[in-house]
Structure 1
Amino acid sequence: MLHWQWKRFAELTLDELYRVLALREQVFVVEQKSIYQDADGYDRGAHHLLGKASGESEPVLAAYLRVLPPGLKYPEASFGRVVTAPSMRRHGYGKALVEKGLSFIETHFPGAPIRIGAQHYLQRFYEGYGFRRVSDVYDEDGIPHIDMLR
């Protein structure tokens, strides 16, 4: 069971920010072998969802995503950096992240369309949440991606 918490950038403790960046780097850079600059300038304007599990001495960041308000990256609202720690997979946390992200957007930006840049292999997963593909496959940092709208 995870403890879910939404925070703005300025509300993140240094320790939380470190864990967020470490998890994103662990999965997107090291595991997926994608060389890119994770610090893309959008974190300061984002809403951050942290899913923490109880650890032996301190909570473990098990899952994370960020929501970008309309106009920050795209005209539409967006979410991204959807990530589950490798040791915490197979518990449905990816689905919980997306559901919580969509609910947050619907509450805070009612009626706003949502655009995501999804890894191509996740097309069917996001279609299950009402997204539709709106671009050809493109390379983003060595990984095939597509744009999707809801």
Structure 2
Amino acid sequence: MMSWHYKTFDQFTAAEVYELLRLRSAVFVVEQDCVYQDLDNQDQAAFHVYKTDGRRIIACARVLAPGTAYAEVSIGRVIVDLEYRGAELGVELMLRCEEWIWDAYPKSKEIKIMAQCYLASWYGRQGYVGQGEEFLEDGIPHRIMSKNIA
């Protein structure tokens, strides 16, 4: 049975941490052919939103508090398993993150993300607007984007 989960890092079981890292590695390292250090010491302070199919994590993202990655609250490490793409699961994931942000940080006026450029139009359809120039992060073109939530 598919279900959504909302957890801080210390609420994860060892199996859930393994699943989270398995999915990130499958997408960011193998699928995108990008060798980078995923373990950046921000997961411990993040709030994690993810969906399982009953046996494994199939979509996930993390929310970082204002002042962690940016002055604003941010969403990052947004992933949907290849098998589940095309079913608007990414849209639902972003909406669930945003709803959590509205509850957790009611004074926040903006959400900031670092989007891979090939996904900028997808994030644009979710209401995010590009800021500044493109730049390389781990060899992949990125752009800072933000969404007004005031």
What's the counterpart of residue 129 of structure 1?
126
What's the counterpart of residue 4 of structure 1?
4
What's the counterpart of residue 36 of structure 2?
36
Seq. identity, %: 38
- Report deviation, 1:32: 0.1
1:52 correspondence with 2:52: yes
Q: Distance in 2 between matches of 1:18 and 1:87?
A: 19
Aligned residue pairs: how many?
Answer: 146
What's the counterpart of residue 14 of structure 2?
14
1:118 correspondence with 2:93: no
TM-score, scaled to structure 2: 0.93
Q: Distance in 1 between matches of 2:23 and 2:123?
A: 22
- Report deviation, 1:129: 2.3
Q: Distance in 1 between matches of 2:20 and 2:62?
A: 10
User: Structure 1 segments of 4 or more deviating over 4 A?
Assistant: none
Q: Distance in 1 between matches of 2:89 and 2:17?
A: 20
1:78 correspondence with 2:74: yes
| Deviation digits for residues 24-43 of structure 1 (CA, Å, limit 9, x no counterpart) | 01100111011110001100
Q: Distance in 2 between matches of 1:69 and 1:100?
A: 16
| Deviation digits for residues 104-148 of structure 1 (CA, Å, limit 9, x no counterpart) | 111111131211000111112112222111120111111110001
Q: Distance in 2 between matches of 1:123 and 1:50?
A: 22
The alignment's C-alpha RMSD in Å is 1.2
Q: Give the match's secondary structure for 1:64.
A: strand
Contact 2:91 2:126 in 1 (8 A): no
Q: Distance in 2 between matches of 1:50 and 1:129?
A: 18
Structure 2 unaligned residues grouped into runs of 5+: none
TM-score, scaled to structure 1: 0.93
- Which is strand-richer, 1 or 2? 2
